[in-house]
Amino acid sequence: MSLSPVEGVALAEIESGGADGEQKALAGRSPGQLVWSRLRRDRTALVSGVLLVVFVLLALAAPLVQRLYGASPSEVFGDLLDSTGMPLGYAGGVSGDHWFGLEPGVGRDIFIRMVYGIRTSLLIALGAALITTTIGVVLGILAGYLGGKADAVISWVTDVALAMPFLIFALAVVPTFSLRFYGPRDAVPTWFAVATLIGVFSAFGWTSTARLVRGQVVSLREREFVEAARASGAGLGHMLFRQLLPNIWAPILVSFSLLVPSYVTSEAALSFLNVGLPESVPSFGRMIYRSIGYLETDPAYVFFPGITIFLIVLAFNLFGDALRDALDPKSSR
């Protein structure tokens, strides 16, 4: 009797158990429970997971944080700047009212802008990751299962997308697309700029997921449980999304967890180059770009947004690695 890969994960975990009591405890668990158990025993997963929860909560509760904090991201505190535009006090104006200080030359509160910057980055990154993962899964599973001409066409489109330089394409398309709908003097709405960035990321980001899923499906399509479902008269949709997809969710989850931090850094890079989001929208990349001129006089300005985006990317990458280890029944961790 042949087992599907999902059943094999649980069986391998049971067989690798040490003591008899632990083996009996694992025997009644589902694959999802086994993964959760392994994640809870991983300190790296716990620490990175807590950091991610904190960042997500800050992003979701940004309006509430603004109300409790008492400052908005666009509010200017000009009276707290000296005649040269530098914040009064130490470390860029850090105080009980302004936890991370003020922006030199402008006087906006850095902390509340960072909270909304987290909101902006995660909105774009998660939205783009969801769309690219969906596209990649659909195209990859079709190419892997159907094979033949369908596989050849999808693989050719994937190769073309991989051959196109993302940064050059983004630098050329994003401003042009904005000018197509709004004039050079018109303010580009935030929703439009966000949707444009998600669209650009989605046009390129699906390729890695598609190749990953295709390879997984190719290795599964001749397995006995697939042959049995095909012999019973199952339709294409049932074969793809009821038989194959449940058995490849593990690498898809890992791929999704690693796509998010790549989009966070990509959004920051484009904002650093003054492409994408308007200046009024809080963004880590734009804050870091503005801080370049104040590296000597106000290093705290670049430190706070820099360390925050570093922690976000690091937490996602560490959690993705821990998730991959938890989903691998042969892992030693």
Question: With bands split at pLDDT 50, 70 and 90, how would you rate the model's confidence at 68?
Answer: very high
Write down the domain spans for the chain: 1-32, 58-317
How confident is residue 124, by pLDDT bands cut at 50, 70 and 90? very high
pLDDT score at 291: 86
pLDDT at residue 5, as a whole number: 55
pLDDT band, very low/low/confident/very high, at 87 (cuts 50, 70, 90) = confident
* pLDDT at 174 exceeding the cut of 50: yes
- pLDDT for residue 225: 83
pLDDT surpassing 80 at residue 45? yes
Find the mean pLDDT for residues 278-300.
Answer: 85
Instruction: Compute the C-alpha angle 52/56/61, nearest 5°.
Output: 150
Say how far residue 194 (Cα) sits from the centre of its chain.
15
Residue 330 has pLDDT above 80, yes or no: no
Q: Does the structure show a pLDDT above 70 at 12?
A: no
Mean predicted lDDT score pLDDT of the chain: 83
285/287 Cα distance (integer angstroms): 5
* Per-residue model confidence (pLDDT) at position 332: 46
Q: Which long-range contacts (CB under 8 A, 24 or more apart) does 53-60 make?
A: 55/118, 55/122, 55/311, 55/312, 55/315, 56/122, 58/115, 58/118, 58/119, 59/115, 59/118, 59/119, 59/122, 59/123, 60/119
Give per-residue pLDDT as tens, 16-31: 444 444 455 445 566 6
- What pLDDT score does 19 carry? 46
CATH topology of domain 58-317: MetI-like fold (1.10.3720)
